Structure 1
Amino acid sequence: MKIDRMDHIVLTVRDVTATCEFYQHVLGMEVGIFAGGTRKYLQCGKNRINLFEQGSEVEPKAAVTVPGAGDLCFIAETPLPEVIKHLESCGVPIELGPISRPGAMGLMESVYLRDPDNNLIELSNYVEL
């Protein structure tokens, strides 16, 4: 078997509205609504983050569903210095960085922050060598 790519991940969150506001306003993601209008997701490029509100998860689900357990890395098209300025303008503190880290396709320059549920978010640019 050969896996081609990841389609989506699922985050369990305390407040879907607050999560959507953060990811839309701070990270520029689009908010979508599943057919039936009861569940939301975040779209970024060809990837999706499906959202479960804690206590209202849909089966099947992970064995342990808790807000704040995520550790996500996003590759930004925007240069990192502009990303940092944008985060500052949104009042989002940077927890660490800029710092160099290895990524799936080479060396990255990254900053780390937290979303409303305390998930760790890494925003990165690949370093041109």
Structure 2
Amino acid sequence: MAAASRPFAVARIDHVVLRCRDVNAMLEFYGEVLGLEVAKRNERIGLIHLRAGSAMVDLIPMADPPADAGESASTAERRNMDHLCLRIQPFDLPRLQAYFGAHGITPGELRVRFGAEGDGASFYIDDPEGNRVELKGPSTGV
């Protein structure tokens, strides 16, 4: 498919989420060793968002998530990387749904999620090997 027919362009990687056996050791490495700063925490699920330039590295424990953690909940099948998030533009949901539908891909639930630019609409798809990819629109300014 020619690039001109795609209804979006990837602007950059928004964030990467790492599932951790030892969140404290990972926080020490990414925070102290590499110098990433904590941008936000979600204590309820143990999620730590670390600023990495214009992107984020998120750390989440491998332990069972709360039942309402949603489709981004970590599972044994996803190994150590939970998902890759790509910031796309424009974020025209009907065109995106038509585009992915034409490729036999059904996007997951549209929700507002936190990322490197703040809260914004996003949904998940899976790559051919089962890796979760989040496609995220611009920040809503929230």
TM-score, normalised to structure 2, is 0.41
TM-score, normalised to structure 1, is 0.44
* Structure number having the greater strand percentage: 2
* Structure number having the greater helix percentage: 2
